[in-house]
A and B are shown apart, each in its own frame.
Chain A
Amino acid sequence: MGKYRKTVQIVILLAVLVVGGYAIGNTLFAAKDEGIPKIGEQPPDFTLADLQGNTHNLSDYQGKAVVINFWGSFCPPCVKEMPEFERQFEKWKDSGLEVLAINLSEDTLTVNNFVHRFDLSYPILRDVNRKTEHKYGLESYPTTFFVKPDGTILDVFVGGMTEKDIDSRVNQLLQ
């Protein structure tokens, strides 16, 4: 019995470290889970279809500068900023900027009409039953996330953005 004592001690203390560490770590991690993702965090991954039916994973865009914009046709500032994003996308797309505009679970006709009206060229992703917006904990619209190539958030902007607002952040993203 005596010669196993040390082994038993180490095994039990290690088990405590693993189980306890997991449980405590979980509470620390869960505490951050409230509200929308913050600067420096990784935005939650999603898989959404665009208007052509192609699926997009956020993880596919790892290594690229990505702007994730949540919008709805029912939200006037969203409507207003869409053409500004379009112009910014045109300006920066050759430098590697990606824009993912996630519609807030509206129906196909509404989204199609909207996109044709503004002639948007970046991918419009269709959230279904508000799942992705819940995942992101959104509380107001529009909300825009600027994600660096390393997958962490550079900035979060809640509310309508002007072209200047977008430009300065994209500039930082692409540095």
Chain B
Amino acid sequence: MLSLHNTKCECGHQNAVGTVLCESCGKPLIEDAESDAPLEMRYDGVARRSQKSNPNPIDKIWNFFSSVKIAVYLIVITLVTAMLGTIYPQEGSFLNNFKPSVYYEETYGLPGKIYYKLGLSHTYDSWWFITLLVMIGTSLVICSLDRVLPLYRALSKQQIRKHLRFITRQKTVYNGQIDGDAEEWVKQFSAHMKKKHYKVYTDGTAMLAEKNRFSRWGPYINHIGLILFLLAILGRSLPGWQMDSYVSVPDGDTVQIEGTNYYVKNEKFTVEYYKDEELPPELRGTIRAKRYETSAVLYKCTSNCGDDASGEPVLKEVKKQDILVNHPLKYDGIKLYQFDYDVTPKLKSVNPVLVNKETGESYGPFDLPMKDAPLDYTLGPYKMKLAANYMEFGIGEDGEPVTLSRDPNAPAFIFLITGPGLPEKGQPYIYFPMQKDKEKFDQDKLNASIADKLEIKVNGMENVHFAEASTYLNVRKDKALTYVWYGAAISMLGLLLGSYWQHRRIWLRIDDGKLSLGAHTNKNWYGMRADVAYALRKSGIAVDPKSLDNGGNNA
């Protein structure tokens, strides 16, 4: 533990609790005074900002996060739990109709069930994982702040004349005798240091030479980048910052992208398959898509948007593009990726004609969409009123016609037809656009007497319109990503500053012709010793760089 006594140094400087080396003269304060082992130079021996003799509750929380040991534990725990999240697929990687409560047990048995029950199936957005990230972020801020401020203070007001014990207990040390004027000697030694791009400060017979102090800020810049990175990731939970959803658009349809003000139209979906000779033998005869693309138009809603159904939304085209795999449509931060397709044809509309079977005359054709068909039709002398429609025609328990679903799988329309030879209040006529339904439900029999007079039919397939395919698009938006990149860039810059440059310092003082020199760097001691040996040699003291080594695990 840190002792509370001797915070005042013999040089008269009052140091903060926890100071290892006097902030002013550098005299070791808490170590055994008689030891000659190299000094612990971390943070230049200054106390961490939050170290206090009587911490209050806020200080205690602060000190918890200020500990590097805690930070390491947090990082290790986060790494381990992040690994657990990769054992089975995460819930987020599945699409529609995915029931996690059933899936994990069915697919992986008991381990899967346990995995799901423990909540590991959504590790990365679980409250405890986010809590860990928040704690790491807090620890980053507090650890950095507690160390960078005192370090900055210590480095910006360095004493030139250091305590002798401070100098002689550095890891690179030289002691020797100087002949002649000490101040002159210091001056010419300084000149040699300057040539090596050191900044030199002298105080009579004492000198401090320093180089690349900025590299000390590298780790803290790195931390700023990491904090930005973490904040950006947490920012994803802000409304509107991230979306990852899927939209299915039938050929020719315009569909709103849920949760946005955008609509996307599938003008035409095309898929091209591999020819048999292009496939390896074992895949021949199977259908393999070679290329599929959607001619898409992106619209922005300008009025009548949102849920209030006061009218049709007014759309304005903002972008038109063919969407292919790996070639998403990008607009204003939103990206539409080609994801999948469905080529099961769905009946969209038919253009039938009304035929008078007795005269052979035909009227029309008229447009009959499967969804929201118009209610009134005028065809020559006949008037038809749409009385009912069924998406999937069937007969209910009570014998009444019903629809079995809301998709046009077996559409049927009941018209009330009026005209020459028909009752004034009209005669009902049921029409099945699809031939299979016509036969299955026996259209002519249902229509009875009118079936001999009139017929609604389509002439040829050119009058039948299918939505050939639906395209599935993946809609993505990630505002956080920009900040993630900025964070990563800043963090990398900090890493470079901290690792490619070294902060080197040399202190020396001459007392009665006796030269004491000590040097410190945060890495690359080989280079540090070479610099010292160079300047000494130029000043007339030939010395082997290796002999400057004062021990203490120097690299």
Query: Taking beta carbons and an 8 Å cutoff, which residues of A are in contact with B?
Result: 1, 5-6, 8-10, 12-13, 16, 19-20, 22-24, 26-28, 30-31, 46-49, 55, 72-74, 76, 79, 104-110, 113, 126, 128-129, 131, 134
Contacts and interface: CB of A to CB of B under 8 A. Distances in A.
A48 B375 CA distance: 23
Nearest to B142: A12
B404 interface: yes
B237 A72 contact: no
B406 A1 contact: no
Interface stretch (B22-30, B303-311, B328-336): B303-311
B147 to A, nearest CB: 14
Given A24-B130, A30-B125, A109-B373, A74 B392 contact: yes
Interface stretch (B34-42, B200-208, B383-391): B383-391
Contacts of B387: 113
A60 B254 CA distance: 31
20 contacts: A1-B149, A5-B49, A12-B138, A12-B141, A20-B135, A24-B131, A27-B126, A27-B237, A31-B126, A48-B307, A55-B308, A55-B309, A72-B406, A74-B392, A74-B403, A74-B404, A106-B406, A109-B373, A113-B388, A126-B309
Interface majority SS (helix, strand, loop, mixed), chain A? helix
B526 to A, nearest CB: 37
Contacts of A74: 391-392, 402-406
A128 B375 contact: no
B406 A22 contact: no
B397 interface: yes
B258 interface: yes
Contacts of A76: 396-397, 402
B256 interface: yes
B273 to A, nearest CB: 31
B134 interface: yes
A49 B312 CA distance: 12
A31 B371 CA distance: 37
A93 to B, nearest CB: 25
Contacts of B310: 49, 55
B130 A23 contact: yes
B interface bracket (residues with beta carbon within 8 Å of A): 35 or more
A167 to B, nearest CB: 25
Given A74-B404, A110-B389, A9 B62 contact: yes
In the complex, which of the residues B127, B137, B234 has the most CB atoms of chain A within 10 Å of its own CB atom?
Answer: B127
A55 B307 CA distance: 10
Contacts of A104: 406
A109 B371 CA distance: 10
Contacts of A20: 131, 134-135, 137-138, 234
B33 interface: no
A48 B58 contact: no
A109 B135 CA distance: 58
Contacts of A49: 309-310
Nearest to B310: A55
B297 interface: no
Contacts of B142: 12
A129 B255 contact: yes
A23 B61 contact: no
B58 A13 contact: yes
